[in-house]
A and B are shown apart, each in its own frame.
Chain A
Amino acid sequence: DQQVKQNSPSLSVQEGRISILNCDYTNSMFDYFLWYKKYPAEGPTFLISISSIKDKNEDGRFTVFLNKSAKHLSLHIVPSQPGDSAVYFCAASEVSGNTPLVFGKGTRLSVIA
């Protein structure tokens, strides 16, 4: 039973355009969400997070949007750069329930120059 789903295994985007990575979750108790980026042969690197009390969080070229009613979040990267090519993992936790992070299977983003 996957509680966090990233339905697109891969995504290709042209350099300079917007990349939109999507994530759906089923557990309505999740209240904290994170995105991690992973390059080959490296561990996941924290990118950006959002609390359930917000619907948007922005950090430079990266913006995360949260739609609680739809149980959906998305990561927008604008403009996309070749160095953004990596696997992106969505993760969620139920902070009040003291539960560990639950990860999606990841989306491989390829930014084409």
Chain B
Amino acid sequence: DSGVTQTPKHLITATGQRVTLRCSPRSGDLSVYWYQQSLDQGLQFLIHYYNGEERAKGNILERFSAQQFPDLHSELNLSSLELGDSALYFCASSVVPSGVQETQYFGPGTRLLVL
């Protein structure tokens, strides 16, 4: 158990809908990262928050957005869902922002299926 929690574990929805994925980092961790893993793909970095502020963006679609709240939990919002958005979405946390040699600890992921 990494100490990172993600809810829900599974999510089935229809095209065009909007969903929210939630992540609670390890106690004391200020950084939250979101990744997407599609079939046969590695983990693709989406976005990074540190202590409530956006620090870096990866290949995140405009239909996707995220935020980190004062209690440090984070939410990833996916809207106007398409079939291709079906994937595993992982959240990871670390103590420090990127820029130092740090280890990210991953949650169990949310499996999203868009029908």
Contacts and interface: CB of A to CB of B under 8 A. Distances in A.
Chain A CB within 10 A, most for which of B40, B42, B90? B42
Interface string A87-113: 001010101101111111110000000
A106 B108 CA distance: 17
Nearest to B46: A100
A91 B56 CA distance: 17
A46 B103 contact: yes
A102 B40 contact: no
Given A42-B108, A43-B2, A43-B109, A101 B45 contact: yes
B103 A98 contact: no
Contacts, number: 64
Given A41-B108, A43-B90, A43-B109, A98 B45 contact: no
A100 B58 contact: yes
Contacts of A41: 108
Contacts of B90: 43-44
A64 to B, nearest CB: 13
Interface stretch (B14-22, B63-71, B79-87, B94-102): B94-102
A92 to B, nearest CB: 11
Interface string A18-47: 000000000000001010100001111110
B4 A100 contact: no
B43 A89 contact: yes
Given A100-B56, A106-B42, A95 B107 contact: no
Interface of A: 4, 6, 32, 34, 36, 41-46, 49, 51, 89, 91, 93, 95-96, 98-106
Closest 4 CB pairs of A and B: A43-B106, A98-B99, A103-B42, A105-B42
